[in-house]
Amino acid sequence: MKTVRKVAVVGYCRIPFARQNTAYAEIGNREMLEAALNGLVAKYKLEGELLGEVAGGAVIKKSSEGELVRESVMNTKLNQATPACDLQQACDTGIESAIYIANKIALGQIDSGIACGVDSTSQVPIVISEHLRKSLLEIRRSKTTMAKLKAIAGIKLKDLKPVVPTIDEPKTGLSMGGHTEYTAKYYKITREDQDAFALESHQKMAKAYDEGFFDDMLIPFMGLDKDNNLRRDSTIEKLAKIKPAFDKVNGTLTAGNSTPFTDGASSVLLASEEWAAKHNLPVLAYITYAEIAAIDYVEEKHKLLLAPVYAANRMLKKAALTLQDFDFYEIHEAFAAQVLGTLKIWESEELSKSFGFGALGKIDRNKLNVKGSSLAAAHPFAATGGRIIGTLAKLLNQKGSGRGFISICAARGQGVTMILEK
């Protein structure tokens, strides 16, 4: 057995995130991912470089995008022999890709690699009806003209109506927002607390932009140089006027305290210490631990986005750390209620007991999402992991030492946590 090697985060690049049907309405996954990858290649002078592998993916893909990452890599200035693969794990896709690349580096299988993610909710694939699909296949299989005509005659006008895909959970028929309404009610997360949390995310990100924190993290694309979901003029009063989005009568989740559908792409460069030194790249941070978990949310609908509760507990035990042993916390803000619910569970012995373990305790909220997070930047599903890893790695590198904790929830009752250290 080879010695497990340390895995370094040595670079990052993303395009600004854009709300659905705005700046990136006319382009798709490949164009956005290529922009993020080309930005990374240019920034770190990787032209002609043969990397170990590039891994990433998209949650929403067209049938023609089966080899999305490899096709995108071939349109960069990386050595064309650089292999690539597509991964998909809902909103965990970006960070799961980083774990995949990191494990290969740690085991000595590769020395360097890129983890990436992209999603276009503007260019969603339109699906034909099931009866039309079967009829078209029957026409294709038919050997005679009469057989083909018979299959064509079986197509009804209603069969021509396109089917727009949804992100509802197949097991429950509820959207993420619908499930998170259950979370908010179950854990008594108030509308006021959700709105206040959302406002804080926008304020933090606006300040970070003003300070220049994101200047070297983003490349301008399609006329954008900032995330266009950021609302500098947001106030508690404005947020309070927004109507509930999911439970129209008794709901507390709104467009103001939930992430919108978004387009965007991100990439992160990972490497061994030796590869980084050879290429004169600084080690921004090390990926030291990660944990994937899943949760049953069908019977207990409020649990859909709470799998990180399990992941955090397992990971901290393996790392021999407490939840308080961190300088920064990056918790993906799919919904304000989901973040506040997770924190409430970690803080409560009674609530944690229902998950099978003791309370992890409170965190210092001043260390949480210090540059804003998904409620401000928005959330192109597969691209969020790269955004968060890049942000945390930069924070640790600027500090010069310390630990960072990442938590990302995902559809189908999954979640991931990760530790970065400097």
pLDDT digits (tens, 9 = 90+) for 275-291: 999 999 999 999 999 99
Q: Please indicate, yes or no, whether residues 16 and 118 belong to a single structural domain of this protein.
A: yes
77: domain CATH number? 3.40.47.10
Q: Please indicate, yes or no, whether residues 249 and 268 belong to a single structural domain of this protein.
A: no
3-state secondary structure of 416: strand
Per the model's pLDDT, the better-predicted residue between 348 and 127 turns out to be: 348
Q: Please indicate, yes or no, whether residues 20 and 101 belong to a single structural domain of this protein.
A: yes
Distance of CA 356 to the CA centre of its chain: 27
Q: Please indicate, yes or no, whether residues 58 and 118 belong to a single structural domain of this protein.
A: yes
Catalytic residue among 179, 202, 332, 379: 379
Q: For the segment 319-336, what is each residue's pLDDT rounded down to a tens digit?
A: 999 999 999 999 999 999
Is the separation of the CB atoms in 116 and 268 below 8 Å? yes
Q: Look at residue 108 and tell me if it is in a domain.
A: yes
Is the separation of the CB atoms in 31 and 120 below 8 Å? no
Catalytic residue among 91, 179, 202, 302: 91
Q: How many structural domains are present in the chain?
A: 3
Helices (H), 144-190: 145-153, 176-186
Q: For the segment 97-118, what is each residue's pLDDT rounded down to a tens digit?
A: 999 999 999 999 999 999 999 9
Q: What angle separates helix 145-153 from helix 130-141, to the nearest 10 degrees? A: 170
Q: Please indicate, yes or no, whether residues 37 and 137 belong to a single structural domain of this protein.
A: no
Amino acid at 248: K
Catalytic residue among 116, 302, 332, 409: 409
- How far is residue 51's CA from residue 40's CA, in Å, rounded to a whole number? 13
Active site residue 13: no
- How far is residue 369's CA from residue 117's CA, in Å, rounded to a whole number? 20
Active site residue 116: no
Query: Mean of the per-residue pLDDT values for the chain?
Result: 96
Q: Look at residue 324 and tell me if it is in a domain.
A: yes
CB atoms within 10 A of CB 75: 14
Q: Please indicate, yes or no, whether residues 357 and 329 belong to a single structural domain of this protein.
A: yes
Q: Please indicate, yes or no, whether residues 382 and 321 belong to a single structural domain of this protein.
A: yes
Residue 1 has pLDDT above 60, yes or no: no
Q: Please indicate, yes or no, whether residues 270 and 336 belong to a single structural domain of this protein.
A: no
Q: Please indicate, yes or no, whether residues 184 and 327 belong to a single structural domain of this protein.
A: yes
Domain span at residue 314 reads: 176-212+235-259+289-416
Q: Look at residue 23 and tell me if it is in a domain.
A: yes
Is the separation of the CB atoms in 292 and 319 below 8 Å? no
Q: Please indicate, yes or no, whether residues 315 and 350 belong to a single structural domain of this protein.
A: yes
Q: Look at residue 223 and tell me if it is in a domain.
A: no
Active site residue 91: yes
CB atoms within 10 A of CB 400: 7
